[in-house]
Amino acid sequence: MTFTLVLPVLLWSDMLVWLLVLAGFVLGALSWRNLPLRAAWRRVGRSRPGMASATVLVVFVLIGLLDSLHYRPRLENRDPSQPAAYAIEVLSVLDAMASPLRARNEKTYSEPLATRAYAKESIEVREADGRVSTTRDFPRLKFGGAHLGESEEKRDADVLKRVLAAEALALIVVVLASLGGACLLAHRQGVSARQAWSSLWKGETEFAWNAVLVTLGVLLLAWLPVLALCVDYHVFGTDKVGQDVFYQILKSVRTALVIGLVTTLVTLPVAIMLGILAGYFRGWVDDVIQYLYTTLSSIPGVLLIAAAVLMMQVIIDTHPQWFATAAERADLRLLALCFILGLTSWTGLCRLLRGETLKLRELEYIQAAQAFGVADLRILLRHILPNLMHIVIIALVMDFSGLVLAEAVLSYIGIGVDPTMISFGTMINNARMELAREPMVWWSLISTFAFMFALVLAANLLADAMRDAFDPRLAGAS
């Protein structure tokens, strides 16, 4: 008999997500040791739009990471002599934290913050004399505003009270955080706290602390009220099957991050290796590699993805015995999609790296190394690869936003993630038909697009800041 409450589950995509975190740290440490790259990171840190968007992205990444720790909860077991049994359902830490959102399902659509459903239904009303009559009315929601009981008219006052309390808390946290930041800065630079405070807000610090603090403040002011409300209301409404839209959006974040980041991670080794080999060895190696990527890139991306996904579907459908749970199948399908997207996107990076290697190998220091008889492998690893890192880093951030947008389109066409997996694409696809309803169901579509916009805009702004900092041609200009 065991006393463990949960059975940890490691999905394949979880593994890649955590591998990605590790790779991020390794890449960060390596580029910190390289002086030009460290200078570039410092330039990124000075960029205010860059740091503001990085703050937003960190929040998204934290949500995604919480959603990447999966487990199966233990079932209630009355008989202590039996071995512990675990639920077949795979949950994540995020699910556990958001369990009020996940479990409180209504019957169908309801508006944001509503206490009653969106469409009229026949309700049985027991009259005072015991007769039962049916009327058509908007039924009361099971969970939305349930704590109000019968007094639904108090909803506005309740919402206002919660929002004000949350805003007050947010303000206190922001002020404390900036005071703490100023004190820390004063301590590290050996100046008075007052000086540190003024230099912090004038933007005279090495790192754009003011942008981070302002963004943090805006995020707290916007989201603490939502968190305060979401325990008892459906802040963004519910969808057709009554699931909370806010919960679905939180779950979509991980899918978007996996698509945007894992895809690049799986293509990076291939693109780097082939690009360097083609550029460095030239001759027939170059010919073969060029032929390979020209052929692959001459197939229009969407069509190649469509063909590959169709084939993957056939494999999945004809081999149901490979997947123990539905979550596992959806997960492997997500990974397969990443690999397929990678198949079409490595060619661009490979071509860039080949061109840069061609240029580098003609430089004196490489020729000197060759003259000294340094082995080719050592030249590639020590002298060429570090000098290509800026291209790799720029490509990584530039691809991200495009991939997140592509996921939505592909899921709409029906060649994206598994229909059971919550993602921005599947949410848009489900919400699309609701616009034709009378009266219109607008909330799920609008909130999905808004969150996707926030994620992609932050990624685009960070990508711009990083490109400006890492591209040697642009670095001198700014």
Partner 1 sequence: MLAYIARRLLYAIPILIGVNLITFALFFIVNTPDDMARMQLGVKRVTPEAIEKWKAERGYDKPLFVNGKASGAAVLTDTIFFTKSARMFVGDFGRAEDGRDITREIASRMGPSLAIALPTFILGLFVTVSFALLLAFFRATYLDFWGVVLCVAMMSISGLFYIIGGQYLISKLWRLVPISGYSAGLDAWKFLILPVAIGVISGIGSSTRWYRTIFLEEIGKDYVRTARAKGLSEITVLFRHVLRNALIPILTGVVVAIPLLFMGSLLTESFFGIPGLGSYTIDAISAQDFAVVRAMVFIGSVLYILGLILTDISYTVVDPRIRFDR
Residue numbers of the site for partner 1 (CB under 8 A)?
291, 294-296, 298-300, 302-304, 306-308, 310-311, 313-315, 317-318, 401, 405, 408-409, 412-415, 424, 428, 432, 435-436, 445, 449, 452-453, 456-457, 459-461, 464
β-pairing, 70-73 vs 91-92, is antiparallel
User: Nearest approach, Cβ of 169 to partner 1 (angstroms)?
Assistant: 31
User: Nearest approach, Cβ of 465 to partner 1 (angstroms)?
Assistant: 11
User: 3-class SS at 72?
Assistant: strand
Kindly report the number of other CB atoms within 10 A of residue 385's CB atom. Answer: 16
Closer to partner 1 at the Cβ: 224 or 428? 428
Place of tokens 């008889």: 373
123 DSSP 8-state letter: E
Task: Supply 148's token pair.
Answer: 């109000």
Closer to partner 1 at the Cβ: 157 or 303? 303
User: Nearest approach, Cβ of 37 to partner 1 (angstroms)?
Assistant: 24
User: Nearest approach, Cβ of 280 to partner 1 (angstroms)?
Assistant: 24
User: Nearest approach, Cβ of 288 to partner 1 (angstroms)?
Assistant: 11
Closer to partner 1 at the Cβ: 141 or 431? 431
> CA-CA distance, 299 to 343, in Å (whole number)?
11
- Which residues lie below 8 Å from residue 33, measured CB to CB, with a gap of 6+? none
Closer to partner 1 at the Cβ: 200 or 396? 396
User: Nearest approach, Cβ of 380 to partner 1 (angstroms)?
Assistant: 27
> CA-CA distance, 151 to 153, in Å (whole number)?
5
- Which residues lie below 8 Å from residue 259, measured CB to CB, with a gap of 6+? 334, 337, 338, 341, 403, 404, 406, 407, 417, 423
Give Cα 106 distance to the centre of its chain: 27
Task: Supply 128's token pair.
Answer: 């005072």
Closer to partner 1 at the Cβ: 357 or 401? 401
Give Cα 170 distance to the centre of its chain: 24
